[in-house]
Amino acid sequence: MRVKICGLTQVNQAQEIVTQGANSLGFICVERSPRYIPPEKIKAIAISLPSKIDKVGVFADHSLAEITKTVAIARLTSVQLHGAESPDFCDRLRQALPPNIELIKAFRIKTPTSLEDVEAYLDRVDTLLLDAYHPQMLGGTGHTIDWQDLQQFHSSLPWMLAGGLTPDNINDALSRLKPDGIDLSSGVERAPGDKDLTKVTQLFEKLASVR
Ligand SMILES: O=C(O)c1ccccc1N[C@@H]1O[C@H](COP(=O)(O)O)[C@@H](O)[C@H]1O
């Protein structure tokens, strides 16, 4: 399963989290987030990691030029769109990016009808990410989606579950839902951008216990 740990800002933490088993790391490119990390610092982390590890830049309503420039500087392999980017924007971004860059579209699930938004993106992105809705925050909220709302969710694209996942609730989530990947940030953190490696260890222990 894809395990993405998001909100990295420190090279030693990134390396340790990969050693523990993460295959995907996320970097917040949203300037107003307390987890923001500039492109040059992402690059320093990215080039220290094995090439097989996904390096995901998280963007929200950035311009095409900002995203393409950051992808090049930071050596990203994936772009996560966490704002209100339209299907047409995704098409144009696809044209603007190198062909091997993965496009992940995040959806903030407020009610079951929020899932209807997914349809228009299926031919335009590679991966879906379902996160919790919060009225003031775009992401990193620590809030869970009502998993009941996702019971009937199926997709032709791989999808990742995000939103308030922790070592304590991950196995409950995975017993109810069968995502292709999981994405954790605040649930394995001491403070925004400062990961708690003990919690990351607990996460992988929990995941190993059900394999
Ligand atoms: O983490 C942030 O600060 C952030 C800012 C803007 C957009 C997305 C952000 N994070 C995303 O939030 C989810 C996980 O959050 P949590 O586990 O509930 O804390 C994940 O997809 C991050 O990429």
What are the chain's domains? 2-209 (3.20.20.70)
Predicted local confidence at residue 91, as pLDDT: 98
Distance 88 CA to ligand 1 centre (A): 24
Predicted local confidence at residue 190, as pLDDT: 97
Predicted local confidence at residue 211, as pLDDT: 65
Q: Which of 85, 131, 145, 194 to mutate to test the pocket of ligand 1 (most atoms within 8 A of CB)?
A: 131
Report pLDDT digits (tens) over 192-211. 999 999 999 999 999 999 86
Tell me which of 29, 54, 131, 183 is the catalytic residue: 131
Tokens of 23: 């295959």
Is 0.90 exceeded by the ipTM?
yes
Predicted local confidence at residue 109, as pLDDT: 95
**pLDDT over 70 at 152, yes or no:** yes
Q: Which residues line ligand 1 (CB under 6 A)?
A: 6-7, 26, 28, 30, 33, 35, 58, 60, 80, 82, 106, 129, 131, 138-142, 162-165, 183-187
Report pLDDT digits (tens) over 60-106. 999 999 999 999 999 999 999 999 999 999 999 999 999 999 999 99
Predicted local confidence at residue 210, as pLDDT: 81
Distance 160 CA to ligand 1 centre (A): 13
Tokens of 63: 């311009």
List the residue whose alpha carbon is closest to atom 11 of ligand 1: 139
Report pLDDT digits (tens) over 32-55. 999 999 999 999 999 999 999 999
3-state per-residue secondary structure call for 40-68: HHHHHHHCCCCCCCEEEEEECCCCHHHHH
Averaged pLDDT of the chain:
96
Cα-Cα-Cα-Cα torsion 194, 10, 23, 85, nearest 10 degrees, comes to 80
Mean pLDDT over 17-23 rounds to: 98
Report pLDDT digits (tens) over 107-145. 999 999 999 999 999 999 999 999 999 989 888 899 999
Q: Where in 32-155 does DSSP place strands (E)? A: 54-59, 78-81, 102-109, 127-132
What are the CA-CA distances from residue 4 to residues 22, 37, 123, 148 (Å)? 6, 17, 23, 22
Would residue 6 show up in a list of annotated catalytic residues for this protein?
A: yes
Would residue 29 show up in a list of annotated catalytic residues for this protein?
A: no
Distance 141 CA to ligand 1 centre (A): 6
Q: Which residues contact 87 (CB under 8 A, 6 or more apart)?
A: 120, 121, 124
The number of angstroms, rounded, from the C-alpha of 23 to the middle of its chain's C-alpha atoms is: 12
Report pLDDT digits (tens) over 166-181. 999 999 999 999 999 9
Confirm if 164 and 133 have CB atoms less than 8 A apart: no
Helix (H) or strand (E) holding 101: none
Predicted local confidence at residue 61, as pLDDT: 97
Distance 194 CA to ligand 1 centre (A): 14
Report pLDDT digits (tens) over 60-72. 999 999 999 999 9
List the residue whose alpha carbon is closest to atom 16 of ligand 1: 140
List the residue whose alpha carbon is closest to atom 2 of ligand 1: 140
Distance 93 CA to ligand 1 centre (A): 21
* Bridge partners for 102 per DSSP: 78
